[in-house]
Amino acid sequence: MKLLLDQDVYAATARFLQNLGHEVLSAEQLGKAMATDEDLLRTAQAQGRLFVTRDRDFGHLVFVKGLGGGVLYLRLLPSTREAVHQELAEVLNRYTEAQLVNAFVVIEAEGHRFRSLPAI
């Protein structure tokens, strides 16, 4: 899958995703290290990428402001990295890209919550 990583996503997570065979770009690689959250979400959607972040503010953008989906929100600490990475791999294997681009998924060490968004 094609992924855009927020500035706050660990380099280890980027490597993990690349090793799984996903096409990974970071906000920094796109020259958007200082971009707003809204701009990053729109960029991901315009490029057909899922947006991966550790920033809880994207829930507000998706559910309150209605700016779309395709967000994988990682509730990740250095101490839970391996467990969250395994759950992230599970999510990317379990759901199709079509399902994920219309969803907001919270991924934690203990599991994940998948929330489909209403069609617009």
* pLDDT tens digits, 55-114: 988 888 888 887 877 999 999 988 999 999 999 999 999 999 999 999 999 999 999 999
Global model pTM greater than 0.75: yes
- The C-alpha atoms of residue 117 and residue 103 are separated, in whole angstroms, by 5
- Counting the structural domains of the chain, the total is 1
The boundaries of the domain holding residue 88 are 2-116
List of residues 6+ apart from 11 with CB closer than 8 A: none
Q: Which two tokens stand for residue 65?
A: 């402001």
Burial class (CB in 10 A: 0-12, 13-18, 19+), 3: buried
Q: Which two tokens stand for residue 117?
A: 């968004």
